[in-house]
């Protein structure tokens, strides 16, 4: 059979006579040195331990080739034979070791040391006690062939995990062919016709492996370059988008404030026929929804300060469980609500916290995509001074080495296009803005558990816009404060007028003005208890207006309530915090105006609201 193989092979054009053997071995040796150099360089470049181990494998193989090259004409001594056998065995062990390290197979180093020792003994036995060369060579070359095929499996797995790595596929192919050649080497050696061809073949395969390695490293470099650049590009895009959204939202805020305000006024006055009320309430609710949408755009565009009000987290969780579209798309979903019936209120921004919960739920649902029985638990409980909410799934959970990064902006393990890596980072900073914390812990029984802890609400309870029915008549709070002289300043005359009408309705005496310089002249001439002023105005902005008022009437400057459509702007926010001024976000609810005015008027003239009270802004 072998004879037949050798005879038919000898007729091929790829067969070289035995005289070519030194040249073939030299070419093979040179190509191995290319590999040694390449693996050595790659190890310095990428610092991956398995490259070191594979370099050692190629070094032992090169040593075997060198010994074979020098001695191919002389009769081999048993010692040389033993050493050669051991070199090829060592090359096999290092290939196996490198592949185990690559595949993250937990194998102790001592095991490989013991294996090397065993192979030394085997080489000794083979060289000194076995007379049949097949008995010595077949197991040893079979071993290196197997080790090479295992290396091919490593690269094949890399290729499967990253279909863009063509180099890994080429390497898998190269190592399979090289492994087959090594396993068949004893047969090549036994043939005068094939031994030289065998070495030429191995040289070609070794160069093929070297080139494939270069391809793979270039592909990896390109991928990591993209990983670095993509977030930068996304950040640039987001900031441009943010500027655009912020501009559009700002322009929408004034008309929305006017629509909302007049609708509320109409509903409060109850002058229209009762049958029209439900329709108007619908309009009011929709315009409220539009205002919230604008708020969400702004939250995306820039970090938004929370608009604090009493929030029952159980209600938010229930609303989310009933209405979140993503929950409806997963069937069958085992959705479990475990809500503490005595959960205290927290002081928070319901829209922002709703958004955080929605993000956590969306992540959980995505994580359970391949879970045959997806289970989502939403749990609330009371701690001593905090309220805790957990979102728990039975997906794969988060690997320990990933956990430290999940709250970093732009960190994502999802495919490009499936996640921008912003959800958890925004959620984390939102909860931090609420003086709370958001953290991860593995769920018992596998899966992920995101935990949110928020401080319980302090004792004060502002007139929240939620819970105050739109048709509610003017609150009696105003009557507790005597009628005040209020200067209203807004360059948008409709908003100024709306505020004037509202304040009149509340029993105050407003003076309405739409020019900042005219307002300053009025302050010179008349006595005012309070000023409601726009922040962005054409002649004088809010900061300049404040400085002028403080020169004229310092007491009154402390009683300015600013209105702004740009609550996310860092500049107005820094200013409000530095001077501890109350401010309201446009579009505002009349209840908020009422509350802010009442709060200022009920304070003695000398007391200023302080930033640390956490109540300086009602936005």
Residue of 167, 350, 421, 572 that binds ligand ADP (CB under 6 A): 421
**H/E segment holding residue 485:** strand 485-489
* In the complex, least distance from residue 239 CB atom to ligand ADP, rounded to whole angstroms: 18
Q: Which stretch binds ligand ADP (CB under 6 A): 2-10, 81-89, 404-412, 496-504?
A: 404-412
Beta carbons of 58 and 39 less than 8 angstroms apart: yes
Q: Which stretch binds ligand ADP (CB under 6 A): 25-33, 141-149, 241-249, 417-425?
A: 417-425
Residue of 222, 270, 414, 485 that binds ligand ADP (CB under 6 A): 414
Continuous H helices in 324-349: 325-329
* In the complex, least distance from residue 409 CB atom to ligand ADP, rounded to whole angstroms: 8
Q: Is residue 423 within the footprint of ligand ADP (CB under 6 A)?
A: yes
Residue of 211, 411, 541, 608 that binds ligand ADP (CB under 6 A): 411
Give the Å distances, CA to CA, from 337 to 73, 173, 393. 82, 53, 12
**At a CB cut-off of 8 Å and minimum separation 6, what does 322 contact?**
none
**At a CB cut-off of 8 Å and minimum separation 6, what does 230 contact?**
416
Cα distance between residue 138 and residue 619, in whole Å: 81
Residue of 42, 81, 308, 448 that binds ligand ADP (CB under 6 A): 448
* In the complex, least distance from residue 380 CB atom to ligand ADP, rounded to whole angstroms: 18
Residue of 7, 78, 413, 509 that binds ligand ADP (CB under 6 A): 413
b/e sequence 296-323, b meaning 16+ C-beta within 10 Å: bbbbbbbebbbbbbbbbbbebbeebbee
* In the complex, least distance from residue 408 CB atom to ligand ADP, rounded to whole angstroms: 8
Q: Is residue 363 within the footprint of ligand ADP (CB under 6 A)?
A: yes
Q: Is residue 439 within the footprint of ligand ADP (CB under 6 A)?
A: no
Residue from 601, 583, 348, 611 nearest 464 by CA:
348
Cα distance between residue 419 and residue 411, in whole Å: 9
Q: Is residue 367 within the footprint of ligand ADP (CB under 6 A)?
A: yes
- Which residue is nearest to ligand ADP, using beta carbons? 419
Q: Is residue 455 within the footprint of ligand ADP (CB under 6 A)?
A: no
Q: 442 or 569, CB closer to ligand ADP?
A: 442
Cα distance between residue 163 and residue 180, in whole Å: 25
* In the complex, least distance from residue 422 CB atom to ligand ADP, rounded to whole angstroms: 6
DSSP 312: -
Positions 549 through 568 that interact with ligand ADP (CB under 6 A):
none
Beta carbons of 259 and 287 less than 8 angstroms apart: yes
Q: Is residue 419 within the footprint of ligand ADP (CB under 6 A)?
A: yes
Residue of 80, 193, 425, 429 that binds ligand ADP (CB under 6 A): 425
Q: Which stretch binds ligand ADP (CB under 6 A): 199-207, 235-243, 267-275, 363-371?
A: 363-371
Beta carbons of 281 and 470 less than 8 angstroms apart: yes
Question: Residue 416, Cα to own-chain centre: how many angstroms?
Answer: 11
For residue 376, what are the β-bridge partners? 335, 393
Please provide residue 349's backbone torsions phi and psi, each rounded to the nearest 5 degrees.
-100, 110
Q: Is residue 326 within the footprint of ligand ADP (CB under 6 A)?
A: no
Q: Which stretch binds ligand ADP (CB under 6 A): 341-349, 356-364, 500-508, 602-610?
A: 356-364
Q: 392 or 534, CB closer to ligand ADP?
A: 392
Residue of 182, 258, 424, 443 that binds ligand ADP (CB under 6 A): 424
Q: Is residue 63 within the footprint of ligand ADP (CB under 6 A)?
A: no
Residue of 264, 288, 349, 393 that binds ligand ADP (CB under 6 A): 393
Q: 332 or 417, CB closer to ligand ADP?
A: 417
* In the complex, least distance from residue 389 CB atom to ligand ADP, rounded to whole angstroms: 14
Q: β-strands 448-455, 437-442: how paired?
A: antiparallel
Q: Which stretch binds ligand ADP (CB under 6 A): 205-213, 410-418, 570-578, 595-603?
A: 410-418
Q: Is residue 395 within the footprint of ligand ADP (CB under 6 A)?
A: yes
Q: Is residue 374 within the footprint of ligand ADP (CB under 6 A)?
A: no
Q: 353 or 478, CB closer to ligand ADP?
A: 353
* In the complex, least distance from residue 420 CB atom to ligand ADP, rounded to whole angstroms: 5
Positions 180 through 239 that interact with ligand ADP (CB under 6 A):
none
Q: Is residue 398 within the footprint of ligand ADP (CB under 6 A)?
A: yes
Number of neighbours of residue 348 by Cβ within 10 angstroms: 28
DSSP per-residue string spanning 215-255: HHHHHHHHHHHHHHHHHHHHHHHHHHHHHHHHHHHHHHHHH
Q: Is residue 392 within the footprint of ligand ADP (CB under 6 A)?
A: no
Q: 412 or 471, CB closer to ligand ADP?
A: 412
Q: 421 or 464, CB closer to ligand ADP?
A: 421
Strand ranges in 497-564 using DSSP code E only, listed in sequence order = 509-513, 530-534, 560-564
Task: Tell me how long the chain is.
Answer: 619
Cα distance between residue 57 and residue 49, in whole Å: 13
Residue from 203, 199, 143, 148 nearest 173 by CA:
148
Helices 542-552 + 516-525 axis angle, to 10: 10
Please count the residues of this chain forming the interface with ligand ADP, following the rule CB under 6 A. Answer: 21
**At a CB cut-off of 8 Å and minimum separation 6, what does 611 contact?**
577, 580
Q: 312 or 394, CB closer to ligand ADP?
A: 394
Q: β-strands 334-338, 437-442: how paired?
A: unpaired
Q: β-strands 309-311, 346-348: how paired?
A: antiparallel
Q: Which tokens in the block code for residue 119?
A: 């192979």
Positions 497 through 516 that interact with ligand ADP (CB under 6 A):
none
Q: Which stretch binds ligand ADP (CB under 6 A): 223-231, 339-347, 422-430, 471-479?
A: 422-430
3-state secondary structure of 387: strand
Q: β-strands 386-393, 448-455: how paired?
A: antiparallel
Binding site for ligand ADP (CB under 6 A): 359, 363-364, 367, 393, 395, 398, 402, 406, 411-414, 419-425, 448
């Amino acid at each position: 059979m072998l004879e037949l193989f050798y005879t038919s092979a000898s007729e091929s054009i790829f067969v070289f006579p035995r005289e070519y053997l030194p040249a073939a071995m030299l070419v093979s040796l040179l190509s191995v040195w290319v590999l040694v150099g390449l693996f050595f360089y790659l190890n310095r470049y990428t610092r991956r331990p398995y490259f070191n181990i594979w370099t050692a494998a190629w070094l032992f193989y090169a040593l075997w080739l060198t010994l074979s090259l020098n001695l191919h004409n002389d009769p081999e001594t048993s010692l040389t034979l033993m050493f050669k056998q051991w070199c090829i065995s060592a090359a096999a062990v290092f290939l196996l070791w490198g592949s185990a390290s690559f595949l993250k197979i937990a194998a102790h180093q001592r095991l490989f040391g013991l294996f090397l020792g065993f192979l030394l003994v085997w080489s000794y036995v083979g060289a000194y006690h076995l007379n049949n060369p097949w008995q010595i060579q077949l197991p040893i070359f079979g071993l290196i062939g197997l080790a090479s095929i295992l290396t091919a499996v490593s690269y094949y797995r890399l290729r499967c995990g990253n279909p863009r790595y063509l180099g890994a596929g080429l390497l898998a192919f190269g190592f399979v062919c090289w492994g087959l050649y090594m396993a068949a080497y004893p047969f090549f050696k036994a043939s005068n016709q094939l031994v030289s061809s065998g070495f030429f073949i191995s040289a070609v395969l070794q160069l093929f492996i070297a080139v494939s390695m270069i391809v793979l490293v270039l592909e990896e470099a390109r991928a990591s370059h993209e990983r670095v650049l993509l977030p930068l590009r996304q950040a640039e895009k987001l900031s441009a988008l943010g500027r655009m959204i912020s501009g559009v939202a700002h322009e929408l805020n004034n008309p929305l404030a006017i629509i909302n305000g007049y609708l509320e006024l109409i509903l409060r006055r109850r002058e229209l026929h009762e049958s029209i009320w439900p329709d108007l309430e619908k309009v009011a609710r929709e315009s409220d929804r539009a205002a919230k949408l604008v708020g969400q755009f702004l939250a995306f565009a820039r970090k938004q300060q929370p608009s604090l009000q009493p929030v029952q987290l159980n209600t938010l969780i229930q609303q989310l469980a009933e209405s979140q579209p993503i929950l409806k798309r997963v069937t069958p979903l085992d959705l479990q609500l475990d809500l503490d019936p005595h959960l205290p209120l927290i002081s928070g921004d319901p829209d922002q916290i709703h958004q955080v919960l929605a993000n956590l739920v969306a992540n959980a649902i995505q994580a359970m995509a391949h879970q045959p029985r997806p289970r989502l638990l939403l749990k609330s409980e009371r701690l001593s001074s905090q309220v805790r909410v957990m979102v728990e799934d039975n997906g794969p959970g988060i690997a320990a080495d990933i956990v430290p990064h999940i709250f970093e902006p732009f960190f994502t393990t999802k495919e490009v296009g499936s996640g921008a890596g912003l959800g958890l980072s925004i959620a984390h900073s939102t909860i931090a803005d609420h003086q709370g914390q958001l953290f991860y812990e593995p769920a018992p029984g596998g899966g992920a558990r995101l935990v949110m802890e928020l401080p319980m609400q302090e004792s004060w309870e502002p007139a929240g816009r939620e819970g105050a029915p739109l048709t509610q008549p003017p609150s009696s709070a105003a009557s507790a404060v005597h009628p005040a002289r209020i200067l209203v300043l807004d360059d948008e005359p409709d908003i100024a007028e709306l505020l004037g009408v509202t304040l009149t309705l509340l029993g105050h005496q407003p003076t309405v003005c739409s020019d900042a310089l005219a307002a300053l002249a009025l302050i010179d001439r008349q006595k005012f208890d309070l000023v409601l002023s726009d922040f962005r105005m054409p002649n004088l902005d809010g900061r300049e207006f404040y400085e002028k008022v403080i020169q004229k009437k310092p007491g009154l400057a402390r009683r300015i309530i600013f209105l702004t459509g740009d609550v996310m702007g860092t500049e107005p926010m820094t200013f409000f915090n530095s001077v501890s001024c109350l401010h309201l976000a446009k579009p505002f609810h009349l209840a908020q105006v009422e509350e802010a005015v009442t709060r200022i008027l009920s304070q003695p003239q000398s007391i200023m609201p302080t930033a640390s009270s956490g109540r300086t802004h009602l936005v």
